[in-house]
Amino acid sequence: MNNPFNYSTPMLKKTAHAIRVDLIKALAHAGSGHSGGPLGLADCVAAVYFYGASIDPHNPHHPDRDRIIFSAGHYSPVIYATLAHAGYVSINHFINDYRMFGGCLDGHPNFKTPGIETASGPLGQGTSQAAGMAAAAKLDKKEWRVWLFMSDGEQQEGQVQEAAMWMGFRKLDNVIAILDANNMQIDGHVSNVLGEKWIEDNYRNYGWYIITIDGNDMKQIMRAIDEAKEVRGKPTLIIARTVPGKGVKFMENDYHWHGKPPVGKEVTEALDDLGKEVN
């Protein structure tokens, strides 16, 4: 299996931009949800779905597909927006029904949504499930990979360390993890809450291969994906340094935007900002 899109750099940039615009619209319509993290991670998520991963949006259960896991479920705006652009769900459904009763796009992801591989919301749980999938794939001698998106605040969960240790020890080289190093969590900057240098050190000590990039630079993201696919004998961690709120000036690097949507005039302002970005 391959990536059915295999977009070029300009196409990926365009898609990431469209994802940002649509997730702002959906958040504004829902009246609740997370803005900062999802905006910052849009480039990486777009690169995985439209360039890196072997997937088939028309057959979300294809046995040989890569598994894309989002361990931090509050990133649902960027997850759903990307699934919509890839064709798993409709863009209209996303913009109008996100977080609505009776739809298939709950505030935190679950199996109602085509393309979602694990329920998430309680931070950390995706990491172990990714480990289990990767180990099962090895047992069955399957070629598919596990792509694991994690957040930096989430690294403080014991379960994440347990899972990272286990994947490193078992040399699960079919795992490519992407860490959204946005230095943001609810109570402030990750560096102030519990520090961040240890995160990279820990993964290195657990036996991971580490690539550090600017997670909002599409060329760097693509290169990191190419490099990670060549790694043997170790799981790979791509530390993607991103700007939370990316593209919307008044949200950028402000952790107060972790968990709220734009309202009223903020919506037009946010869309204006994103409009300028593309020109």
Ligand X SMILES: Cc1ncc(C[n+]2csc(CCOP(=O)(O)OP(=O)(O)O)c2C)c(N)n1
CA-nearest of 116, 28, 26, 31 to 77 is 26
Closest to another protein by CB, 35 or 127: 127
Residue 163 contacts which entry, ligand X, another protein, Mg ion, none (Cβ below 5-8 A, type-dependent)? another protein
> CB within 8 A of 97, min separation 6: which ones?
103, 104, 105
Minimum distance between the CB of residue 136 and another protein, rounded to whole angstroms?
4
**Nearest distance, CB of residue 185 and Mg ion, angstroms:** 5
Which partner in another protein, Mg ion, ligand X, none is near 74 (CB below 5 to 8 A by kind)?
ligand X
Binding test (CB under 6 A) with ligand X, winner from 153, 215, 247, 262: 153
Which of these, 179, 229, 234, lies nearest to 66 by C-alpha position?
229
Binding partner at 258 among Mg ion, another protein, ligand X, none, C-beta below 5 to 8 Å by kind? ligand X
Q: Which of 94, 262, 70 is closest to 273 using CA atoms?
A: 262
Instruction: Please say which residue, 16 or 167, places its beta carbon nearer to another protein.
Output: 167
* Rounded distance between C-alpha atoms, residue 174 and residue 133, angstroms: 10
| Residue 7 backbone zone (phi > 0: left; psi -120 to 50: alpha; other: beta) | beta
Distance CA 262, CA 266 (A): 5
Question: Out of another protein, Mg ion, ligand X, none, which partner does residue 168 contact, by CB within 5 to 8 A per kind?
Answer: none
Q: Where do contacts with ligand X occur on this chain (CB under 6 A)?
A: 34, 36-37, 72, 74, 121-123, 151-154, 182, 184-186, 244, 258
